[in-house]
Amino acid sequence: MSVVRVGAWRVDVVVRPGVRPPLSGAALARAVARAGAAAGAPLPASATIVLPHDEELAALNAVHMGHEGPTDVLSFPMLPPEAFPPHASDHDRRPAAPAPPMPHRPGRAGGRTHIGDIAVSVERAAEQAGEGRGGQTGDVRWSVADELRLLVTHGTLHLCGWDHADPAEEAEMRALERRLLAGAAPGR
């Protein structure tokens, strides 16, 4: 495990033996910090990224989502959506203003609010990018690194209460992902 600090963020990056990510832990942590900042995550904050083998991800997918087989990204939020500022498609789900920070909010440890954990499949990222099925829309051809950066961004937004259950939410989430990725510096 490596610990990466980006501004007020601590990101623990866990890479399972044999998994070879196309991005450094620092690049992955920057993606978390950018998405968390855009979603209004409470600071200082922490998150964990796990890069498992597909077998482990398939087991997590079965237990937590009830789906068979591996998936590209799973998010395990520690805070309710109401802990984050609302966005346009949230009008009926969240209060008009975010709740003030509470010193003993669940998920708080070591002076940081742990917003949750993300499990991302480097194997799925490589397959999706290689087949031109990237970008969450299934029609983007780009590098494995770009697909992995998108999946980490997507997973972080889920940690921060974003979803894509209806068309308006999905359009808003995809637009934010595109903005975040457009501003991301390439790098290992």
Share of the chain above pLDDT 70, in %: 81
C-alpha distances in angstroms, 2 versus 49, 72, 103, 134, 185? Answer: 10, 22, 27, 27, 21
Residue 187 lies in a domain: no
Q: Is 112 exposed, middle or buried (0-12, 13-18, 19+ CB in 10 A)?
A: middle
Residue 73 identity: V
Residue 128's domain comprises 2-93+100-182
Quick one: pLDDT at residue 136? 61
Residue 160 lies in a domain: yes
pLDDT digits (tens, 9 = 90+) for 110-140: 689 999 999 999 998 998 888 776 666 556 6
- Distance CA(42)–CA(55), nearest Å, equals 33
Quick one: pLDDT at residue 8? 95
Quick one: pLDDT at residue 4? 95
Residue 67 lies in a domain: yes
Mean pLDDT of the 144-161 span: 93
Quick one: pLDDT at residue 103? 42
Q: Is 151 exposed, middle or buried (0-12, 13-18, 19+ CB in 10 A)?
A: buried
pLDDT at 70 over 90: no
Q: Which stretch of 11-25, 46-60, 83-97 has the lowest confidence by average pLDDT?
A: 83-97
pLDDT at 46 over 80: yes
Q: Are 33 and 7 in contact (CB under 8 A)?
A: yes
The CATH number of the domain holding residue 155 is 3.40.390.30
Scored b (16 or more CB within 10 A) or e, 5-37 reads ebeebbbbbebeeebebbbebbbbbbbbbbbbb
Residue 40 lies in a domain: yes
Residue 85 lies in a domain: yes
pLDDT at 50 over 80: yes
Mean pLDDT of the 56-69 span: 88
Residue 12 lies in a domain: yes
pLDDT at 45 over 90: yes
- Distance CA(179)–CA(173), nearest Å, equals 10
Count how many domains the chain has: 1
Residue 188 lies in a domain: no
Residue 27 lies in a domain: yes
pTM (predicted TM-score): 0.84
Terminal CA-CA length for the chain: 17
pLDDT digits (tens, 9 = 90+) for 79-98: 998 888 887 766 555 444 44
Quick one: pLDDT at residue 97? 42
- Angle (CA) 93-33-70 rounded to 5° is 75
